[in-house]
Structures are given as C-alpha cells and as structure tokens.
A and B are shown apart, each in its own frame.
Chain A
Amino acid sequence: GAGVSQTPSNKVTEKGKYVELRCDPISGHTALYWYRQSLGQGPEFLIYFQGTGAADDSGLPNDRFFAVRPEGSVSTLKIQRTERGDSAVYLCASSLSRLAGGYNEQFFGPGTRLTVL
C-alpha cells in the first residue's frame, strides 16, 4: 500500500518568506508526527497529532512554526518569516493509535528539504 507522502520534496525560499509543507499519512493512521533533521544530526521532534488535535507541540522551536490537521488526515506544517536556520529536512511520520502499554511503529515519509536563502 501507499506509504507516507510529503510534498514538495524540495523547497527553496528566501529569508522572510512563508512556507507550507504537506504530509499525507498512511490511511487509517490517527497519529501523525513532524520531525526536523538538520545536516549531520538526527531527527528532532516538533509536534504530534492524535486525530485533529495537537497532543504535544513541545518541540516547536518558536511561534513562527505552526501545524494543522483539520480533518484528522493530511497535515500542513507552516513556517512564517523563514530564517536561514530553518533550513533542514522536515520529516513526517504516522502510526496507528498508541494503545495503553503497546507500541505502534512510526512510518516515515521521504521528507521535504527546505532551503532558506
């Protein structure tokens, strides 16, 4: 079946511009995660959705970053007034709901490479 998809695969923008990154999770996955991976580092957690609500947004670096998931499926990560330091690969992952005491594997998308000039 289809995996997690992300668009665009690459985005080049200028400092100060606004960008939107899209994630299409695996059908039926109610949990959705955004991570950011800077060059030479491991992925860092940004935000987690359970259904339509953001259950944990503790990883968002500042108020320029915002994410939505209005219908509990597709999610959009929005970055306002982009800065050069925002350049990174933005990864999306989805999973089934976490049952109490159980684990559901996070399936990752291919990522969006954002370059802020």
Chain B
Amino acid sequence: AQRVTQPEKLLSVFKGAPVELKCNYSYSGSPELFWYVQYSRQRLQLLLRHISRESIKGFTADLNKGETSFHLKKPFAQEEDSAMYYCALRRAAGNKLTFGGGTRVLVKP
C-alpha cells in the first residue's frame, strides 16, 4: 500500500524568505507525485506534478526516488502563498490519489 507523509503541520516564514515543504512517500512501484494547494475559502487545486517538471507560481518540486521524497520549494515566499499544501501520490497505472496530512504555510509580512 502507498503512503504519503508530510512531517510539518505548520510552516511560518517571513515574506521573501525561502520555503521548503517536505514530502516523503512509500510505494514499491513507479509513482506519480503531485502537489495540491487550498487557499482560504477556495477548493483544492493542482499546483504541480512531477512529470511535467515545471515551475508554477515560483514553486518547484523534484522527485528523488532514492530518498523517496518530493519536496516543494520556493526561493522567495510571498504573502499570497499562505495556504494549505498537500502532497499526493498515484500509482503509475492507477487513478485514485493518496494524500499526505497537509502542511499549512503562513507567510508573514
């Protein structure tokens, strides 16, 4: 069975500081990894996925199969980045998403 762990429940950083959200997973096969974000009073939405290797809103994430990690990083946090962030995994041939417990990011002015 697959599992996703986000060790930090809350990350508080100042505007302009770097932010890194940790995500570790356990899965024996080839996973697909995603980051979802939920801004205040909005619905859950996809932020980025490992397969596209893109930067969205300044965020990047690299899949490290050796360390089974998919950490989310942004070099300069903005106040509008304050939100709940969820790391999620899907089996390569599967459909359902397995989510981590989420990390709340608070960017202070």
Asked if B51 and A111 sit within 8 Å, CB to CB, the answer is: no
Asked if B101 and A40 sit within 8 Å, CB to CB, the answer is: yes
Chain A residues with CB under 8 Å of B46's CB are: 105-106
Asked if B43 and A48 sit within 8 Å, CB to CB, the answer is: no
Is A108 engaged at the interface, CB distance under 8 Å to the other chain? Answer: yes
Asked if B43 and A45 sit within 8 Å, CB to CB, the answer is: no
Chain B residues with CB under 8 Å of A50's CB are: 95
Tell me the count of chain A residues lying within 8 A, CB to CB, of chain B.
26
Asked if A41 and B101 sit within 8 Å, CB to CB, the answer is: yes
Tell me the count of chain B residues lying within 8 A, CB to CB, of chain A.
20
Chain B residues with CB under 8 Å of A48's CB are: 95-96
Asked if B43 and A109 sit within 8 Å, CB to CB, the answer is: yes
Asked if A103 and B101 sit within 8 Å, CB to CB, the answer is: no
Asked if B99 and A44 sit within 8 Å, CB to CB, the answer is: yes
Chain A residues with CB under 8 Å of B49's CB are: 103
Provided the pairs A33-B96, A59-B96, A108-B44 are in contact, do residues A43 and B51 lie with their beta carbons within 8 angstroms?
A: no
Interface residues in A62-82 (C-beta closer than 8 Å to B):
none
Asked if B97 and A41 sit within 8 Å, CB to CB, the answer is: no
Q: Which of A4, A42, A110 lies at the interface centre, i.e. has the most chain B CB atoms within 10 A of its CB?
A: A42
Asked if A45 and B101 sit within 8 Å, CB to CB, the answer is: no
* B84, closest chain A residue (CB): A42
| Among B6, B9, B32, B97, contact of A43 (Cβ-Cβ < 8 Å) | B97
Query: Min CB distance, A5 to chain B, in Å?
Result: 10
Asked if B96 and A45 sit within 8 Å, CB to CB, the answer is: yes
Query: Min CB distance, B59 to chain A, in Å?
Result: 16
Chain A interfacial positions (CB closer than 8 Å to B) = 3-4, 31, 33, 35, 40-45, 48, 50, 55-56, 59, 91, 98, 103, 105-111
Among all A-B residue pairs, the 10 with the closest Cβ atoms: A42-B99, A108-B44, A45-B96, A43-B99, A110-B43, A42-B101, A108-B43, A42-B102, A42-B86, A42-B100
